[in-house]
């Protein structure tokens, strides 16, 4: 029985299929959580004034900018200097907590006092569906968040080989802030919904930190 680790299981199955190809030389790049995923939180920040995901606020995890993946893949394709089955993790510049990330993203948009809230699964799932994910994709995302919280989903120990360049601080300035400033402002109805969400989270014990 396969462990429930969300969409990562699809990558695992694909690797297993490639392993069955005789004589194949392959490098499996395994990047960590994409920083670009934080762009999905822009509407939430605009309408509710908080940042939220399913991660516990003080769990450290690696996160990578997708622009750091392509040069590594391109180098392998250009040189073809590998044989057999190879795995390379890509862990980003360092590990962060969601509390840290929220502070960094908030500072980049002139809102340094934004707080982070760990969403219960039901609220997180509803947000993912409203953002356009299918029910299956939303369930996968929840499973990944659970796996990172529990330590089931984790990258290898950090090293020079798996550490990449872009920090969350740089991503916030060069990518997140411009995207935030370009995003439309919520209407009155959306702002009221944001206020209701904050009130619900507070009443149910999911406090901002």
pTM score:
0.87
> How confident is the model over 106-141, as pLDDT tens digits?
999 999 999 999 998 988 898 888 888 899 888 988
Report the pLDDT value the prediction gives residue 36, as an integer from 0 to 100: 97
In a domain, 32, yes or no: yes
Q: What is the pLDDT of residue 157?
A: 94
Q: Which two tokens stand for residue 120?
A: 């219960």
Q: Is 3 contained in some domain?
A: no
Two tokens, residue 39: 């762009």
Does any domain span residue 167? yes
Q: Which residue range forms the structural domain that includes residue 38?
A: 8-203
Query: Is 209 inside any structural domain?
Result: no
Asked if residue 101 belongs to a domain, the reply is yes
CA-wise closest residue to 119 among 45, 183, 201: 201
In a domain, 178, yes or no: yes
pLDDT value, residue 33: 94
- CATH number of the domain where residue 30 is located: 3.40.50.720
- Confidence band (pLDDT; 50, 70, 90) for 198? confident
> How far is residue 203 from each of residues 72, 207, 208, measured CA to CA in Å?
47, 9, 12
* Domain membership flag for residue 131: yes
pLDDT score recorded for residue 207:
66
> Is residue 79 assigned to a domain?
yes
In whole angstroms, what is the distance from residue 9 CA to residue 144 CA?
Answer: 10
| Count of structural domains, the chain | 1
Q: pLDDT digit string (tens) for 24-66? A: 999 999 999 999 999 999 999 999 999 999 999 999 999 999 9
pLDDT digits (tens, 9 = 90+) for 133-170: 899 888 988 998 999 998 888 889 999 999 999 999 99
Rounded distance between C-alpha atoms, residue 117 and residue 181, angstroms: 22
The pLDDT of residue 1 is 40
């Amino acid at each position: 029985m396969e462990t429930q680790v969300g969409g990562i299981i699809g990558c695992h199955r694909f690797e297993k299929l490639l392993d069955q190809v005789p004589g194949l030389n392959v490098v499996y790049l395994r990047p960590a959580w994409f920083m670009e995923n934080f762009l999905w939180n822009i509407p939430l920040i605009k309408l509710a004034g908080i940042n939220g995901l399913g991660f516990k606020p003080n769990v450290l995890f690696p996160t990578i900018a997708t622009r750091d993946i392509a040069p590594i893949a391109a180098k392998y394709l250009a040189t073809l200097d590998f044989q057999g089955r190879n795995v390379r993790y890509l862990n980003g510049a360092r590990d962060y907590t969601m509390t840290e990330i929220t502070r960094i993203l908030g500072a980049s948009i002139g809102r340094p006092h934004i707080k982070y809230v760990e969403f219960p699964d039901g609220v997180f799932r509803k947000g993912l569906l409203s953002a356009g994910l299918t029910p299956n994709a939303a369930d996968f995302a929840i499973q990944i968040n659970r796996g990172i919280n529990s330590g089931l989903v984790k990258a290898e120990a950090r090293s020079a080989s798996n550490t990449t360049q872009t920090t969350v601080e740089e991503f916030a300035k060069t990518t997140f802030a411009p995207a935030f400033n370009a995003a439309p402002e919520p209407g009155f109805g959306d702002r009221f919904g944001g206020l209701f969400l904050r009130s619900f989270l507070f009443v149910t014990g999911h406090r901002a930190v």
